[in-house]
Amino acid sequence: MKIFDKLTGKQLKIFSKILVESSLLHTEFIREKYLRSALNYDETTEFLKTLGLIIIQNGQMYPTPKFEELLKSVIRSSEKESVLKNFIGHLILERTNPYYDYIIQFLKHFNLGDGQIKFKPDRSFQRLGFSGIRNFLIDINVIRLDSDNVTYIVNDNYYEYVKRLIEECGITPEELIKLERKNQEIGLKAELRIIEYEKERLSAYPWLIEKIEHVARKNVLLGYDIKSYEGIPERSDNIRLIEVKAVSLSDYGFNWTRNEMEKSKTEGNQYYLYLLPVLKKNEFNIEKLKIIQDPYRNILNSEQWMSCCESLSLKMKAT
């Protein structure tokens, strides 16, 4: 939505100040005065009009009762800008506002956890056209950029409000199917990239390259994706069972099924996890690939990794 590319908290502050201080509310007078200090008059006016905060009739501009009440609060407050931004922030998160659907599509990318609502975008996110609303929400203090300069976090005074919105909007079955299909595509491409990697790694052993198998294409229940080989002197033909995970570069987080864990436990040093960071849909950061041998021992019993229970499998006891 292009209008958010042209909006800032400063523009709203200047516009509101003019309305407070002016007795003459002719649109041309307001426009001329506004443009002395700020840009994008038409977009700012359209935004306030769409939110039901101003009315324009016969060349005159009038604040609506709810905006007039806010302007009175701004006059009385010692923190005028904060009062205005807080009002606008909560207003655009209401279901009744015309921008709600677009804003909630952006907020759906955020995740709840560890007492925060946050989102770390990848490069593909830039193509979705949310930069304008992201910058506007930062400007009016709904969200902030974390110290890593990558992660966006919902500010504390909006936490409960945004949490409720995210929980209520949920995800449709169609969206879930689309997301699962996308994840499957990325997973398959990650596996194919690792097969290329294994061929490069085993370049000194051409007879082993021919024996590499993409077993997940034939049987998804084996507990690993690729059958490869060690390719080191004296153990060149030792089997290497590889489970590939496409991960975020930020935390290398992944889901590990019980079947995969059991296979890792059984196979021990022959079992490997290849954690391959995703740059975008068709690109991976092979330089940041993490290879973990015997992950059952080296991950589950390591303080470096934190496990999170996403679901619980239950069955009734026999009576």
Assign domain 174-298 to a CATH class. Answer: alpha beta
Residue-range domain boundaries for the chain: 2-77, 100-170, 174-298
- Residue 128 has a pLDDT of 67
CATH class name, domain 2-77: mainly alpha
Average pLDDT over residues 143-162: 90
Strand bridging mode 271-280 / 239-247: parallel
Rounded average pLDDT over 289-298:
94
Tell me what pLDDT residue 303 has.
73
pLDDT given at position 255: 85
| Percent residues over pLDDT 90 in the chain | 56
Domains 2-77 and 100-170 equal at CATH topology level: yes
- Give 100-170's CATH code, choosing from 2.60.40, 1.10.10, 2.60.420, 3.40.50: 1.10.10
| Mean pLDDT value of segment 53-77 | 91
Tell me the two tokens of residue 319. Answer: 């009576």
pLDDT of residue 309: 59
- Cα–Cα nearest to 286, from 160, 194, 157: 194
Asked if 28 and 59 touch (Cβ cutoff 8 Å), the reply is: yes
Confidence of residue 312 (pLDDT cuts 50, 70, 90): low
What pLDDT does residue 207 have? 92
Tokens of 68: 């007039």
The percent of residues in the chain predicted with pLDDT above 70, rounded, is 91
**What average pLDDT is seen over the chain?**
88
93 residue type, one letter: L
- What is the mean pLDDT of the segment spanning 31-42? 95
